[in-house]
Amino acid sequence: MQHKILLTLLSLCSSMLLAAQNPNAVEMADAFRADGKIYVVLAVALIVFAGMIVFLFAIERRLRQVEKDINT
């Protein structure tokens, strides 16, 4: 199970890196960087990502408990 999650995250990261190679795709990022707002965007993205990870771990913990209750 953990290998599937790791593989999924790795594939998502590699696809984002490939998309970042397009030089025309960074005009908005340049504007945000010039205004100093890129850090706000990065912070919001990290908070959302961390929230999703915490949510998934909480679901996994509850699912394990339910499976344990069913098996006993």
Range of the domain at 56: 2-71
pLDDT of residue 20: 54
The per-residue pLDDT for range 27-45, each reduced to its tens digit, is 777 777 788 888 898 999 9
- Whole-prediction pTM value? 0.54
Percentage of the chain beyond pLDDT 90 is 39
**Which whole-number Å values give the CA distances from 19 to 3, 16, 23, 34, in the listed order?**
24, 5, 9, 21
Average pLDDT, rounded, for the chain: 82
- Amino acid, res. 59: I
User: What is the spatial distance between Cα 52 and Cα 47, in angstroms, rounded to a whole number?
Assistant: 9
Q: What domain count does the chain have?
A: 1
